[in-house]
Structure 1
Amino acid sequence: MNANAGWIIPFIILGGALQSCGAAMNGQLNKHVVNPWLASAISFALITFFFAGATLIHPNPLPSQHDLAELPWWAVVGGLVGAVQVYAGLTLVNKVGAGPFVGFTVTAALISSLLIDHFGWFRMQAHPLNTGRVVGSLLLVGGISLIAKF
C-alpha cells in the first residue's frame, strides 16, 4: 500500500459502516414505497445521478479504445450483481434485523472473496488459502451464528 494513501483503510471502514446504514435506509424506503422494484429503481437512480454528476465534474481520464477492447464481458455486470444485495436489503433487513443481515452479508462476502483470491478469479492476483484465513472465516461464521441466535 502506498505510504501516502493513509486514507484508504479509514475510507473502507467508513464504507462498511455506511453499508449497514444503507441497508436500514433501504428497508425503510421499501416499507414506505411498498413496491420493492420501485424502491430499488429509486435507490439506483440516485446512485446513477450521483456518479453521472461526478463524471461531469471530473471527466478525465476517459477510457481509450484499447481499454474498452480489453474489457472482459463480465466486468459490466458488477452493478447488477450489486443490485442483488440492494434488493435483499430492501426486502429482508426489516425481517432479520440490521445486525444479522450485515453479519450474513459480510461473512458471505468474505468467504467468497477468499475463494476469488485463492483461485485468482476475475483476473485478481492469487492469494492462496492458508490456515489463518480458514480459521478467520470459521470465526466469522461462529460470530454471525451467535448474532443471529441472540
Structure 2
Amino acid sequence: MQNDNAIWIYALIIVSGLLQAWGPPMNGALRVALVNPWLASLVSFLPIVALLACVFICLPHPLPGGKDIAAMPWWAPLGGVIGAFAVVAGLMFVDKVGAGAFAGLLITANFLMSLAIDRFGWFGMPVHELTGGRVLGAALMVGGIALITRS
C-alpha cells in the first residue's frame, strides 16, 4: 500500500469507527420509541437496504458471473446476519451498560476474534502471525475494558 493511500484509508477507517459509536445509542433510542426490539431492528436496517438498492441501481456493474457465484464459499452471504447481532445487541443493551462499556466490550471481543482469524487464516484471510506486540495489545485492551466496565 502506498503511503498517500494509507493515510486516506486509515482516515476513513477512523471516521467509520467514530460514526459507528453513534449506532448503538441511536438504535437504543429507536427501541425505546418503537417498544418492540424486533420492529426497531427492522426499521434500523430498512434505510441501509434502501441506500444500497439505490447505489446498485446507479452503479450496477460489475456483476458476478456463474463461475463467481459457484466459487463463493457457502458462508460468504452470512456476513450481514452476523453483523446484525451487534446491531441488535446495541439496540437492546446499550442503555443498560452505557455507550462506552458497550463499545469497549464489542470492540475488544471483535479484536480478539480478529487476532484468531488472522492467526489461523479463517474465512480466506491471509495468515498474520500472533506476535508479542499483538498479544500485548490484546492484553491491554482486555485490561482497559475491565477498567471501563467496573466504573
Query: Counterpart of 2:61?
Result: 60
56-65 vs 127-136, which deviates more? 56-65
Matched to 2:26, the amino acid is M
CA displacement 1:36-73 (0-9 Å, x = unmatched):
00000011111111111111111111112111111100
TM superposition outliers: structure 1 runs of 4+ over 2 Å: 2-6
CA displacement 1:121-144 (0-9 Å, x = unmatched):
000000011111011000001111
> Is 1:18 paired with 2:19?
yes
> Is 1:32 paired with 2:43?
no
In the alignment, the residues of structure 2 paired with residue 77 and residue 11 of structure 1 have an alpha-carbon distance, to the nearest angstrom, of 25
Query: Superposition RMSD on alpha carbons, in Å?
Result: 1.0
In the alignment, the residues of structure 2 paired with residue 49 and residue 4 of structure 1 have an alpha-carbon distance, to the nearest angstrom, of 33
The structural deviation recorded for 1:2 is 3.6
Q: Percent identity?
A: 49
Distance change in 2, residues 1:121/1:98 (3 Å): same
CA displacement 1:77-98 (0-9 Å, x = unmatched):
0000001000000000000000
In the alignment, the residues of structure 1 paired with residue 24 and residue 103 of structure 2 have an alpha-carbon distance, to the nearest angstrom, of 8
The structural deviation recorded for 1:3 is 4.0
TM-score by length of 2: 0.96
113-122 vs 124-133, which deviates more? 124-133
Query: Counterpart of 1:149?
Result: 150
Matched to 1:27, the amino acid is G
Query: Counterpart of 1:131?
Result: 132
Give unpaired runs (5+ residues) of structure 1: none
Query: Counterpart of 1:80?
Result: 81
In the alignment, the residues of structure 2 paired with residue 111 and residue 66 of structure 1 have an alpha-carbon distance, to the nearest angstrom, of 34
Aligned length: 150
Q: Secondary structure at the match of 2:21?
A: helix
The structural deviation recorded for 1:25 is 0.4
